[in-house]
Amino acid sequence: MTKTYYTEDHEWLRVEGDIATVGITDYAQEQLGDLVFVELPEAGRKLAKGDVAVVVESVKAASDVYAPLDGEITDANAALSSDPALVNSAATGEGWLWKMKIANAGQLEGLMDEAGYKAHIG
C-alpha cells in the first residue's frame, strides 16, 4: 500500500515499503516556471535529510531540491534528461525526480498529509 506525504519545501513523497519516490508539487513547479534542466543524482548516493538531492533549473534560475529524509538514492528519473518540462506538465506523476531507500522511517512522522499540505500553501 502506498501513502503520500508532503514537505514544507513543496516536495511530495510516495512511499511503498521502504522506498520513497520524490518529486516537487504542482504548486512548486508553478512557482519555478518552465524547467530547462534537471541535475539528477546518481544511484547509491547517501543523503541526509536536508541535503541537496537535485537541482532544477528554470529559464531564469537554479533551485535546490532537498532530501526530505535520510536514505540512499536507488533511481533517478532519466526521462528528465531529455524532457525536463515533464516536471511542469506532470509534477506528481511522470515528472518524479528520484527514488530513495528510507533509512529512518520515523522521519515520515514529521511530514504532512495532503490536507496538511493544502493548508500549508493556503
- Positions touching other proteins (CB under 8 A) are 31, 33-34, 36-37, 39, 55, 57-62, 81, 84
- Shortest distance, position 58 Cβ to other proteins, whole Å: 7
- Shortest distance, position 121 Cβ to other proteins, whole Å: 14
In the complex with other proteins, which residue's Cβ is closer, 33 or 106?
33
- Shortest distance, position 80 Cβ to other proteins, whole Å: 10
In the complex with other proteins, which residue's Cβ is closer, 2 or 31?
31
CA 111 to chain CA mean position, Å: 13
In the complex with other proteins, which residue's Cβ is closer, 34 or 113?
34
- Shortest distance, position 59 Cβ to other proteins, whole Å: 5
In the complex with other proteins, which residue's Cβ is closer, 62 or 105?
62
Q: Is the dihedral of CA 71, 54, 84, 113 positive or negative?
A: positive
> What is the three-state SS of 32-97?
HCCEEEEECCCCCCEECCCCEEEEEEECCCEEEEECCCCEEEEEECCHHHHCCCHHHHCCCCCCCC
| CA separation for the pair 59, 47 (Å, rounded) | 27
**Residue 116 has which C-alpha cell?**
496538511
